[in-house]
Amino acid sequence: MAEVEVAPYAPVVAVVDTVSSLGPRAREPQKITLQDLVRFHGHPCDGLVVAAAGIAYGLQALFPRGVVDRTDLAVAVNRSACYGDVAAYLTGARHRYGSLVVDPSLGDTWILTRRSTGRTVRVALRPGVKPQRLRRAEASLRRGGCEPAAIAEVQELQRHFALAVLSQPPGAVFVRESLPRFPYPTG
């Protein structure tokens, strides 16, 4: 899925972190791309692409000046390893510190909060964006129908879905709304 990296709406997120475990924030931001996320996660999948696009869209609302402070975030995701890896990498949230919350009921939704301001957003994949054919094929594989032809079909459907997501402005793919507060306890 190398073509996702050059897709029109492939997310690039500028971030700052601390320069050491107890140090000050870095002065210069670094950029995180889909290629960085693939190296961390291990493979380029539609879950990685969709989560990256959705979370980046949420971060734009929380950090309108464009540079994300990864020391200032908490996020909630479903139990997908793909979504969780992307959320941790883009936001700096960590389960061990209570800033990465896993809520299986979230589905294709992410909730992000900027701790310093309390500003919280929910980003969800718009209904109908993920093709039903892909949903059915994935469900079939999960039930144990792992024939090579079925796996190849799902991979191709996922590739087309990922490219479709990155070929449209995020507002056409996701619903983003403000919440009054982050609905989970954090550490």
What per-residue confidence (pLDDT) applies to 21?
A: 82
Rounded to whole angstroms, the Cα distance separating 145 from 58 reads: 36
128 φ/ψ sector (left φ>0, alpha ψ -120 to 50, else beta): left
Q: What is the pTM assigned to this prediction? A: 0.94
The domain 2-179 having CATH identifier 3.40.50.150: the answer here is: no
What's the confidence (pLDDT) of residue 116?
A: 96
pLDDT in tens, 52-92: 999 999 999 999 999 999 999 999 999 999 999 999 999 99
Between strands 13-16 and 67-69, the pairing is: parallel
Helix (H) or strand (E) holding 107: none
Listed range (21-25, 79-83, 98-102, 168-172) with the worst mean pLDDT: 21-25
Domain ranges of the chain: 2-179
Q: Determine which helix (DSSP H) or strand (DSSP E) holds 176, and give its type and residue range.
A: strand 174-179
